[in-house]
Amino acid sequence: MTGTTPADGVRYAVGAGIATLTFDRPERHNAMDPAMRTRYGRTLREAEQDPAVRAVVVTGAGKSFCPGADLDALAGIGETGAAGKDVTADDGGHVDVLAAASVAKPVVAAINGGCAGLGFVVACAADVRFAAAGAKFTTAFVRRGLIAEYGIAKLLPELVGRGRALDLLLSGRTFTAEQAFDYGLVQEVLPAGELLDAATAYAAELATYSAPRSMALIKDQVRVETALPLAESARRATGLMLDSFGHPELAEGVTSWTERRPPEFPPYPS
C-alpha cells in the first residue's frame, strides 16, 4: 500500500484497488479545520480520477472518527459576525464535506469513534456506514446555536426518516452505534478491533465483483431518481439499461458468471 504520509490532517493510501482516507489530526482528536476539509474533498476527487481505485474507505485514527469542526475556528464568531466576513457567503466548503456523495466511486465510512457535527455529515454522505461497537454519534448543531449544516437536513431524513431525523437534529442528543444500527443509519456494528478489516473487506468485494461503471451510474441513479415519480424513474432507468448493452461490462459480467470466475471489468474512468 502506497501513500501513507499525512497532509493537512488526512492520510491517504492506495492498495489492491482500495483507497483508504484516514482523518489523522491527533492534537485535535481529528476535528476538522478548513485545510483538513479541503484536503478531504480534494483527495476523494483524486481517488475518483485514479483508474487504480475502485472503492474508498474513510475512517479516523485513534479513538475518534471526526468530532466535527475545530471549535477554535469558531471562537469569537458570535461577537464579530464571522470576523467581519459576509456570513451569508458560501465559501464552497459544502462541496468538500459532501464529496463522498458526489464522486463516482463507492465510499464506505468506517466510523471508529466519536462522530459529531461536521463529521456526522461526512459519515452520512458516504454510501455505506460501518461503526465500531459503542461509538458515539451526535448531530450537535443545535447545542452550539447552529442550524442543520451542509445538507444534513436532506441527507438524514433520507437515511432514517423524517421523524427520527427531527429527533436527532432538534435534540442534538448523543446516541450509540447500536442505536444508529436500529435507526438504519449504519449497516454494520462490529467490535472496534474488527471494524477497519471488515470495512476494507467489504470495499474489496466491491472492487472485485462490481463493475466500476455500473457503481458510478447506480450512485447517480439513487441521487437523481429518488426525487422522481416512479414511472419517470423507470423510464430513465430503461434508457440507461439500453445504453449499457453497448458497453463491455455486460459481456464480461455474463462471461465471468458462466466461466465461474471473478470478472475483469475495465476501470472507471478508463
pLDDT per position as a tens digit, 52-109: 999 999 999 999 999 998 877 666 555 555 544 444 445 678 999 999 999 999 999 9
* pLDDT tens, position by position, 162-190: 999 999 999 999 999 999 999 999 999 99
Structure confidence at residue 86 (pLDDT): 44
Give the closest residue to 45 by CA, choosing from 19, 24, 78: 19
CATH of 10-208, one of 3.90.226.10, 3.40.50.1820, 3.20.20.10, 3.30.565.10: 3.90.226.10
Dist. CA 195–CA 114, nearest whole Å: 14
Structure confidence at residue 90 (pLDDT): 54
Give the closest residue to 126 by CA, choosing from 161, 151, 93, 101: 101
Dist. CA 46–CA 38, nearest whole Å: 12
Q: Name the β-bridge partners of 176.
A: 136
What is the arithmetic mean of pLDDT over 19-35?
A: 94
Nine-digit cell string for 84: 467581519
Q: Is the peptide bond before 269 cis (omega within 30 degrees of 0)?
A: yes
What does DSSP assign to residue 103?
A: S
Structure confidence at residue 70 (pLDDT): 85
**pTM confidence score:** 0.91
